Each structure stands twice: as C-alpha cells, then as structure tokens.
Structure 1
Amino acid sequence: MTQSPFSPGVAAGRLDDAAYAENFSDLHPALDAHEALVAADRCYFCHDAPCITACPTDIDIPLFIRQIATGTPDAAAKTILTQNIMGGMCARVCPTETLCEEACVRELAEGKPVLIGQLQRYATDHLQEQGVHPFTRAAATGKSVAVVGAGPAGLSCAHRLAMLGHDVTVYDARAKPGGLNEYGIAAYKTPEGFAQAEVDWLLKIGGITLHHDAALGRDVALEKLTADFDAVFLGMGLGGVNALTVDGGDKEGVLDAVDFIADLRQSGDLGALPVGRDVVVIGGGMTAVDAAVQSKLLGALNVTLAYRRGRDRMNASVFEQDLAASKGVRIMTHVVPKALHGNGAVREIEFEYVNDDMTGTGETVRIPADQVLRAIGQTLEGESLPALERGKIAVTETGRTSMDGIWAGGDCATGGDDLTVTAVAEGRDAAMDIHASLMG
C-alpha cells in the first residue's frame, strides 16, 4: 500500500508492545463450552422467533441455539452457515444489538438478550477450528461465472455458486481477499488473522479461482467478462472517498479513514504506525468510530469524533458510540468543518455549529488537530457500469441489474444497508438467482 502522508512531527511508538497487545486484543473474548451452554439455556426457543426476522440472512437462531444446548455445536454451525457462509465474521462484527438481540424476547422482557452473536461465534469457531467444511459441490454444470470483488458479497456469491456446481473466477483489486473484512474493520474485532483464515476455510468448497491485483476497468473489462463467462456478479464495494471540500482540506496530515484503518490492519508492527497527538475524525458511521477508537488505542492523547447531526442520527450504533466514549473519544455533534489551519501541515480545525436542518448558527470553535481522518462516505468508481441510482448500481431484490447477465450486491449496489451481514445475504440471493437463470 502507498505510504500515508502523515504530518511532520506525528510520532510512532507512543506505547510499548505490551500495551499494543492489550489494546488490540479481542473485543469480545470467545465463550468456552460451559459459558455457551449457560447462554444457550436462556433461549425460549420461540416458535415464531422475532430474532429470525431481524437477521438479514434469516438464520434459524432458535434451532442453532438448541443444537448448542444439546451438545452439537457443529450441527449448529451448519445451520448458521447454510444461510450465512461468513457466519464467523458476522458473529464478530454484526451490530447484533440493533438486529437479532434487540428483537430477542429476553431483551424486551428483561433488558438482557440471549447472547446470540457470541453463541454464533462459538458454534462457527468450533467447526472451523477442526478444518472441516460442511458442504460439498454438486455435479459440475459446465457453467462459469465471474465475480468482481472478494469482499463479503463476492465471496458469499462465489461460494454458493461453487456449491451449486458452477465454476467461479473471482477478481479483486487488492493483494489479499476479504474486502472490508480484511481491510476495513477495526483490528480488535478480528484479531489473529481471522479474516484470512475464514477465506481459506470458505475456499475449501473448491471450484473457485482467485485473481488478485485485478481491478475492474484497470485490469479487467466488464465487456470481456460478459463475453467470456455465462454470468457476472459485481461486488467490488465503493472505491472512492468523498473529498473534504473546505479551506485547507488538502494540508498534510489529512487522511482518508479507510486508508488509515487499512494501513493499521496490514501492519506487522503497530508501534511503527504514526499517530497524531490530537486526532480529529470527521463522520458518524462505523468507519469513523473504528478510526477514532484505534487512534486512541495507538496512543493519541486527544481524539475527537465530529459529526454534523445529533447522536440519534449517527449510523454507528449506540453500542459503538458508547465504546468510543469508554475509550476516551470525545464526540462532538451538530458541527461541520469550516477550515483547516496550519502552515503546510494541519494544526487546528475550525468547526461551525449547525441546527438540525443543517443551517449554520454562526458560532464557531477551533480545536487542535495534527491529524484529521475523513470518514464522510465513499463513492462508486468505474465506467460502463449498469444503470446507477443514488450513486450505486440499481438492482432488483435478487440483485439483477439493468444489463442482461450481470448481477450486483454489497456496498456497490442499492440493495440494502452497508453491513457485512447484508452483503453476505445479497451475494447469496444473487447466486441463487444466477443459478436459476443459468439452469433455465
């Protein structure tokens, strides 16, 4: 990856190795066998379970929890993975507090839901640690499908297509597969190389060929893919980042939060990563929180997350907001950046307070900042793509685009919210529709 343009004077190695190891250890330590049984015993095994409806991948949650409770975690894992082949990652990064666990009857009755996410991790980890792949390929169909993007949507689509007997070729712009799971999620959510381990395990289905450093438009043409393959699935995510169009927005020390997180995720030495003394993150989504929290964990003295609306409008969940606050991140709301000040490198950032309707109040504030991270949204990059809607590829419920033979899903498409679990569901559903189309 290219070296990030840190400001002069921004230091690395603020903490010792032991502190880094502790700061970036697993956010939610895994349940042991006894803890899993105790947690599973709290489930009511509802007949018409609201948690299933709340799950974007429609996992039969009461069934897999019952399987854990009866001492068959591998069967529970297969129940999960049948619907969500990346159930291990989703168990770690899903905002379960706003999905299945928020809908849990125990949450409604007692304010303490069943630990669905942690139980899902227990089951999937148990199976994956044995190196077992619970699915086998169907007989070869003779059909071939190109998948662009080795992120959650692309890998989910590729696995389901391979399982159904198709030959799948995956093209990805980066050096490693995994997409957001590998490059875009806080390191403390997926430590110890879990993202790559899950990809390696997923590929055991067979029938999937990976091509790295192959970006759509630069190395691979969509027209050639449609000519060479029976179907194409686009799941390349959003490659562009919205610019910070204010005075001084191009100063040294102003970075894209996604690049900051990617550099951190690929670093073999956290102590070698420069981090500012006074870090300001602009944005209110999960990327903004991940960047802010990790800045603090790297040793930044002051970290401020600045968002233009109120906390109730932040895309980051309440849990993520509280996590940031617990790590010492200051959250400023109803502010928009007006200017960045400094002689070449950023030294201060000026904000204006705004009302709920985004009109300025005229009141401004300046705070120290030697590193500013932009997390203000990403954009779709590419030419000759299917029809767009609101800046993304327009798709039907099954991922069909405006171009025959081309499907799309994940962050690059209009199908749903920008969550790993949603991307997995969209890749899976598109694969089923591709299969139906190819087999007549």
Structure 2
Amino acid sequence: MTDPAGVDVRAGRLSAEVLATGFSDLHPAFEPHEAFVEADRCYFCYDAPCMQACPTGIDIPLFIREIQAGNPIGAAKTILSANILGGMCARVCPTETLCEEVCVREVAEGKPVQIGLLQRHATDALMATGNHPFRRAAPTGRRIAVVGAGPAGLSCAHRLAMLGHDVTIFDAREKPGGLNEYGIAAYKATEDFAQREVEFLLKIGGIAIETGKALGRDVHLADLRRDYDAVFLGLGLAGVNALGAEGETAGGSHDAVAWIADLRQTAELSQLPVGRRVVVIGGGMTAIDAAVQSKALGAEEVTIAYRRGREAMNASPYEQEVAATRGVHLRFNLQPKRILAENGHVTGIEMERTRSDGGTLVLTGETVTLEADQVFKAIGQSFVAEGTDHEGEGIALERGRMKVDAACRTSLDGVWAGGDCIAGGEDLTVVAVEDGKIAAMDIHAALTAADRVAAE
C-alpha cells in the first residue's frame, strides 16, 4: 500500500528469481569429498570439549570418524541416538557458541571443524534412504499424551515410542513441528525440511498426531491425566511481550514471531508485502531472522534497533555478521519511545538513546527518529499458563514459566514438561530436544517401576 504520507508496503518488490536467491540455503550442504576433507581435520579428542558443549551429548568425535571412514549412515545413527532432530539442529543450532566454539582447532587456529555441516551431511544421507534407524521395543500397553508437537514434544514422543509405549501428540496448530515449522528463518530450513523431518521421526511407529487441538480449549489436562498413563507438556511460548510504546497498535506495526510464521507458510513469497523502510526492535535471533528476511523480500532499508550495546545482544556475533552482510543496519543503545503514524499507519519510530551505568540501563533524554513503513517487535515471548491447572491446582511456576526438577517433572503428579515453557530453559531447539529425551526416560522409569510394584 502507498499513501500520501510516504507509506510504501507492498508485495512483489523482487522477481521470483531474486527471491529464490535471497531465500536459498544459508549453508549449502557438503559434497561427499568436502565432508571427507573436513572430517579429516578433526583430532578425535579424548574427553572431547565439543561433546561436552552439546546439550544432547552427541558423540561428535565418533560420528566424525565414521564420516572419515566413509560411513555417513553410521554417523547419522550415532547422532540420532542422542538427538532425533539432529537434522534440524545441524541447520539451526548456534554451533559457533556451542560445540565449534570449544573445538581444539578453534582454540589453536581460529578455525574450528565445521561440526554442524558434518552433522547435516550425515543426517541428510540417512534421511535420503527413506529408512528409519531405530526399532520399537515390545509394546508395553502404556499410553502417554504429549501436548505440543515442537522439538521437545517430538523428541519425547519418539523416545517413548522407541521404548514400546503408545503416544498421542496434540498440537494447536495445523502442522506439527512447532518452532521448527513456524519460527525458523526460511533460509535456514529450506525445501520443507521441518515436515520431512517429522515424517522421518514418525516412522518409528506408535505415534499419532492430532493437530488443531489446543490445551484448555479442545483437550483438558484433567482428561489427559485420567485417560493416559503420563502427560508431557511441550507448550512453547505462546505469549508475545508488548513494546510498551505509544502508537504500538498502528498499522504496519507487527509481532515479528507471527510475521515469520506467516512467511514460513506463504507458498508464494512474491505475494508477501514488505515495507521499503523496515525497523526491527530487539536483539535476539528473532530480530535477526525478521530483519534478514525483510531484506530478502526487497526492503530497501532495514535497521535493527537494540536498547543495549552490541556485547549484550542475545544474537551471536556470527548471526550479527549474517545480518550485516545481508545489508541490515545494526544500531545500539536505542529504546523505543513512540511509534509515529499518519492515517493510522506507521511512518516512523521515535527512539531514546540509552547508556549503561554499572550494568543498569539509563535513558539519556536524547531522541532520534527512524523513518519506517513497517516496525517489527522482537522483544521476547512469554509463557501462557492457560489450560495447565487441574481442579483448581495450577502447575507451579518459576520466573513466569513452569517449574520442573532435573527429570523434567512438574508439581503435578504424572505431568512432565520441557522446552521453552519451563523455567531455566535456554530457548534453543537442541535444549528442547534434550528436555524431551530426559522426560521420556523418566516417564519410562516411572511406568516401569509402577508395573514392577503391581506385579509383586
């Protein structure tokens, strides 16, 4: 749309060919020879620091050695035995701040072994065969309900199914995958990879998925506790933090999370409107993803405005570099004060400069105005507790999220939880996968112990 105030938000800014280039794979996959050469760089360290840094504990030296030996399928089995979503994690994990950051090659030479790309090489090779690497144990007769088909829920469901239990997953959206389907930048997971990985995971058998079923609306915790032997909640973060600035509801002011979800479900990117001048508020991965994809859709000027200094950004230096190299401007120590609008649509945003005083953010009183046709808010999400109470007893919360113990048990008997919805979570796919695995093993142990007591 274009109006006299200079607003310019429209679709079709770029040709299909240019769009395809802008949304192509961020990291093209290794060719077999490239994978062999890279694997040969690994020192195969004893007590490898990379393995210690992986939240799911993948035996990284072993799978790299298997690639070096010409056995990528075996390498994939090693990976997936620890992380069943290893294919997606290879694409979206911040390896530069996890396994690769502590790689001995990085410490000694400043150039780590490219563990993420090697992991992708192996898992892609296995998925291309169409075969599932694991078999179910004998049926136990036990039924578990999983709420949420995101990384935590899928990980939990797969491990439980592999142990012989029957699992039903309920998810509020129309497609399974959670963050992997709706929240990851399109250039990080191309060719419908999230759905292909879900299909691969379901080949274990024993897992049914019911989509369009929201907790508290279509399914209720009391019923699940009554009808199933255990319940796992992988609810994610459904709430979005408000900007708290005047004019926040003006047209052209969007929630970045919802916009990314819309983009991921858009079949024809040329039909998705984008502004000529875009401002993204925030300093995390969502801000980076919204900014880079706005630029890829044809926005001429894209700015990320963050209220603190560069060193405080949640987005890693690597992700900041990705944004910068794609033409995104990063500006720091700017806090939103007022969204400017004419005729009900965004025309700019007034920001107040800040400074840090002993770690405390201080407003300086000095303001700057950034022109904008669109403003994206990417300042964090929050847990929505709706549906998590039972007979007046709600699951205990801590810092606004569900409180769990080391085994992912909540305060309600028979209910476990994991992923972004729990206190202390790191909002990473790989951490959610590990939560699901931990919970599944504890659910299995609890049910096995109950069966043993019943048999005595």
TM-score after normalising by structure 1: 0.97
Tell me what 1:348 maps to: 348
- Is the counterpart of residue 371 in structure 1 residue 380 in structure 2? no
Matched, 1:414 2:413: no
Cα distance between partner residues in 1 of 2:217 and 2:114: 44
Residue 415 of structure 1, CA deviation = 4.1
Residue of structure 2 in register with 1:4 after alignment: none
Report whether the alignment pairs 1:299 with 2:298: yes
Quick check: 2:66–2:75 contact (8 Å CA) kept in 1? Answer: yes
Secondary structure in structure 2 of the residue aligned to 1:65: helix
- 2:383 corresponds to 1:380: yes
Assess if the C-alpha contact under 8 Å between 1:409 and 1:415 holds in 2. no
Render the CA deviation track for 1:45-98: whole Å, top value 9, x for unaligned: 001100000000000000000001011111110000000000000000000000
Q: State the identity %.
A: 65
Question: C-alpha separation between the residues in 2 aligned to 1:403 and 1:163?
Answer: 25
Match of 1:401 in 2: 410
Paired with 1:313 and 1:405, the residues of 2 have a C-alpha distance of 39
Letter in 2 for 1:355: R
Equivalent AA in structure 1 for residue 17 of structure 2: A
Q: Aligned-pair distance for 1:382?
A: 2.8
**1:429 lines up with 2:438 in the alignment:** yes
1:46 equivalent in structure 2: 45
Deviation at 1:9? Answer: 4.2
Structure with the larger strand share: 2
Query: 2-side partners of 1:175 and 1:39: how far apart?
Result: 40
SS in 1 for 2:270: helix
Q: Is the 8 A contact 1:145 1:166 kept in 2?
A: yes
Check the 8 A contact 1:396/1:415 in 2, yes or no. Answer: no
Question: Which residue in 2 is equivalent to 1:254?
Answer: 253
Cα distance in structure 2, aligned partners of 1:115 and 1:245: 41
* CA deviations over 1:241-295 (Å, ceiling 9, x no partner): 0112111111111110011101110011100000011111111110110000000
Matches within 5 A, 1:222-233: 222-233=221-232
Q: Which residue of 2 aligns with 1:122?
A: 121
Aligned with 1:20: secondary structure? helix
After superposition, the C-alpha distances for 1:114-139 in whole angstroms (9 at most, x for unaligned) are 11000000000000011010000001
In the alignment, which residue of structure 2 is the partner of 1:57?
56
Is the Cα–Cα contact under 8 Å of residues 350 and 369 in structure 2 kept in the other structure? yes
Q: Is the 8 A contact 1:87 1:124 kept in 2?
A: yes
**Partner in structure 2 of residue 104 of structure 1:** 103
Moved over 6 A (4+): none
RMSD: 1.0
Give the Cα–Cα distance (whole angstroms) in 2 for the partners of residues 144 and 293 of structure 1.
Answer: 43
Letter aligned with residue 71 of structure 1:
G
Kindly indicate whether residue 144 of structure 2 is the aligned counterpart of residue 141 of structure 1.
no
For 1:367 and 1:136, locate their aligned partners in 2 and report how far apart those are by CA, in whole Å: 57
Cα distance in 2 between the residues matched to 1:261 and 1:330: 19
Could you tell me which amino acid in structure 2 is paired with residue 403 of structure 1?
L
Query: Which sections of structure 1, spanning at least 5 residues, go unmatched?
Result: 1-6
- The aligned residue for residue 265 of structure 1 is 264
Aligned equivalents of 1:8, 1:16: Cα separation in 2: 21
> 2:196, 2:383 → 1: CA distance?
28
Deviations 1:145-183 (A, max 9, x none): 100000000000000000000110000010000000000
Structure 2: tracts of 5 or more residues without a match: 1-5, 450-456
Which residue identity lines up with residue 355 of structure 2 in the other structure? N
Shift of 1:416: 2.6
Structure 1: distance between partners of 2:309 and 2:131: 46
- Which of residues 350, 360, 365 in structure 2 aligns to 1:362? 365
In 1, the alpha carbon distance for the partners of 2:140 and 2:226 equals 18
Q: Which residue of 2 aligns with 1:187?
A: 186
Residue identity matched to 2:198: V
2 CA distance for matches of 1:254 and 1:220? 33
SS of the aligned residue for 1:237 comes to coil
Contact 1:91 1:118 in 2 (8 A): yes
Q: Which residue identity is paired with 1:349?
A: I
2:131 equivalent in structure 1? 132
Is the Cα contact below 8 Å between 2:8 and 2:276 reproduced in 1? no
Q: Which moved more, 1:380-389 or 1:51-60?
A: 380-389
User: Structure 2: how far apart are the matches of 1:214 and 1:154?
Assistant: 14
Residue 381 of structure 1: how far off its partner (Å): 1.2
**2: CA distance, partners of 1:8 / 1:347:** 6
Note the alpha carbon deviations across 1:376-402, whole angstroms, 9 max, x for none. 111111332411111110111211111
**Structure-2 residue corresponding to 1:241:** 240
Tell me, what secondary structure is at the counterpart of 1:358? strand
> Distance between the aligned counterparts of 1:55 and 1:331, measured in 2?
30
Q: How many residues align?
A: 434
